[in-house]
Amino acid sequence: MNITALVTSGLALCLALAGCGGGSASTATSGSSSTTLSAQAELGRKIFADTSLSASGQQACASCHDPENGHAPSNALAAQMGGADMTLQGGRNSPSIRYLQTNTVFYFAADGTPTGGFFWDGRAASLKDQAKGPFLNPVEMANTSVADVVAKLAATAYASEFKTVFGADILSRPADAFDRMAQALQQYQLEDSEFHAYTSKYDAFLRGQTTLTEQETRGLALFNSATKGNCAGCHPSSQSPNGAMPLFTDFTYDVLGVPRNTELSQNADASYFDLGLCARSTGDLTARTDLCGAFKVPSLRNVALRKAFFHNGYFKTLKDAITFYVQRDTNPEKFYPVGSDGTVQKFNDLPAAYHANVNTTEVPYNRKLGDAPALSDSEIEDVIAFLNTLTDGWSSTSSTASASASR
């Protein structure tokens, strides 16, 4: 199917703006894991948490991708702050970087559907490729050159370990050393189980280890229903034939017409529009104007931990994000500016020439002004209850304790 035939949720994938997503003043740690890591992955773990590798000395990959928050930001900023003095804002919301291990290089499927790639616009070909971006992005870690990054690496306490793993002379070859840094970060994400834990309540449910509550069960049914939420259209919820757990993304793209977010400094310029897939920096897709406004379908795992949603961080709660899906076309005045003549300025974060790209054909986007939304308020609450079962770290003990405390 074509790009307007995709159903998605623009909730949160990959290392956002250029990997770490714009930065944060936080100096988060890489968290703890029981996974036994290879020497390369152990180096990646240290690099991931090291704020000294940034120009500000205040930002690491973990600053924007907090392990305690599903490897997503721990705040509700539309885009994180970074730069040499931590005063510059990124251009996109930092998504979670979990469950990317089976993602692929960007490609067009046999039916023409854009698929794969890393970042919101799919411009990176691998975890290794996307890991390089934040170090040199001026609004993130803001190093001036590859040599600048490697000089900082050479001053770390683990520099000798880096040389042991990659060669005694590796730091004298900045381009190679930088490539090995990215390789170590990729290996860390592939090996450490935190990045693909499959420890949610829903995973336990699929394994037959627990049951869902009545509300969670209703939410799952609404999530899967092709006439209600239709979320599973792009966020598959079933195990694969080989028994693999669902990733809750098909790694495709969609044009949702999310409202323009004035919290982003780049949007102070009324002529600026973030066009997503058709305007990315790699692979010339500028002629594919049908892809303008398209952004990656992220995994919904750990989505209940998020504090800002969609590529531009416009919505701040899961309820508001889902309400947008089902009421975007039935009650557009709730989300878009209303002109002096009473006209609702729908899809105001896209030039009018690309409004036709917005998905208006599939459930729940096929409603018209005045129609009943695909989900009622109570049904939205049911879907949220189900989405809460996708948070990693569930245990029957903690669930029982939580239930007892609520009585």
Same domain, 138 and 243: no
Closest CA to 41 of 151, 158, 171, 156: 158
**CB distance 82 to 53 below 8 Å:** no
Same domain, 184 and 322: no
CA-based radius of gyration for the chain = 21
Q: Is residue 118 situated within a structural domain? A: no
Most confident of 20-24, 39-43, 339-343: 39-43
Q: Is residue 119 situated within a structural domain? A: no
Same domain, 210 and 77: no
> Residues 205-217: pLDDT tens digits?
999 999 999 999 9
pLDDT of residue 134: 97
**Would you put residue 293 in left (φ > 0), alpha (ψ -120 to 50) or beta?**
left
Same domain, 25 and 80: yes
Residue 33 pLDDT class (50, 70, 90 cuts): low
Q: pLDDT at residue 192 above 80?
A: yes
User: Residue 161 contacts by C-beta under 8 Å, 6 or more apart in sequence?
Assistant: 39, 42, 43
Cross-strand pairs, 295: 254
- Final residue before a domain boundary, out of 170, 196, 222: 196
pLDDT of residue 4: 35
Q: Is residue 174 situated within a structural domain? A: yes
> Residues 52-105: pLDDT tens digits?
999 999 999 999 999 999 999 999 999 999 999 999 999 999 999 999 999 999
- Final residue before a domain boundary, out of 196, 229, 254: 196
Residue 139 pLDDT class (50, 70, 90 cuts): very high
Q: Is residue 263 situated within a structural domain? A: yes
Tokens standing for residue 218: 């209703």
**CB distance 347 to 385 below 8 Å:** no
CA pair distance 48, 343, nearest whole angstrom: 48
Same domain, 104 and 211: no
Q: Which of 43-47, 53-57, 394-398 has the lowest mean pLDDT?
A: 394-398
Mean pLDDT of the chain: 91
Same domain, 134 and 232: no
Same domain, 191 and 205: no
CA pair distance 72, 161, nearest whole angstrom: 28
pLDDT of residue 396: 79
Q: Is residue 406 situated within a structural domain? A: no
Number of domains in the chain: 2
Residue 199 pLDDT class (50, 70, 90 cuts): very high
Q: Is residue 117 situated within a structural domain? A: no
Tokens standing for residue 80: 């994180």
Over range 363-390, report the average pLDDT: 97
> Residues 220-263: pLDDT tens digits?
999 999 999 999 999 999 999 999 999 999 999 999 999 999 99
Same domain, 100 and 241: no
Q: pLDDT at residue 407 above 50?
A: no
Q: Is residue 7 situated within a structural domain? A: no
- Final residue before a domain boundary, out of 152, 175, 196: 196
**CB distance 2 to 290 below 8 Å:** yes
Q: Is residue 209 situated within a structural domain? A: yes
Same domain, 264 and 165: no
Beta strand pairing call for 88-89 and 295-296: unpaired
Q: pLDDT at residue 31 above 90?
A: no
Over range 320-336, report the average pLDDT: 98
Same domain, 177 and 218: no
pLDDT of residue 34: 54
- Between 146-154 and 174-191, two packed helices, what is the crossing angle to 10 degrees? 70
**CB distance 228 to 375 below 8 Å:** yes
**CB distance 159 to 153 below 8 Å:** yes
CA pair distance 198, 393, nearest whole angstrom: 8
Please report the DSSP string for 199-243 in residue order: -SHHHHHHTTS----HHHHHHHHHHH-TTTT-GGGTS--SPPTT-
What percent of the chain lies above the pLDDT cut of 70? Answer: 89
Output the domain CATH number for residue 353. 1.10.760.10
Residue 176 CB coordination number (10 Å): 16
Beta strand pairing call for 107-108 and 114-115: antiparallel
**CB distance 321 to 12 below 8 Å:** no
Residues listed for the chain: 407
Same domain, 241 and 331: yes
**CB distance 317 to 86 below 8 Å:** no
What's the pTM?
A: 0.89
pLDDT of residue 200: 98
pLDDT of residue 160: 98
DSSP code for 246: P
Residue 398 pLDDT class (50, 70, 90 cuts): low
Mapped onto helix, strand or coil, the DSSP state of residue 308 is coil
**CB distance 403 to 268 below 8 Å:** no
Give the range of the structural domain holding residue 159, as residue numbers without chain letter.
15-108+126-196
Query: Which helix (H) or strand (E) is 377 found in, with range?
Result: helix 377-387
Same domain, 167 and 231: no
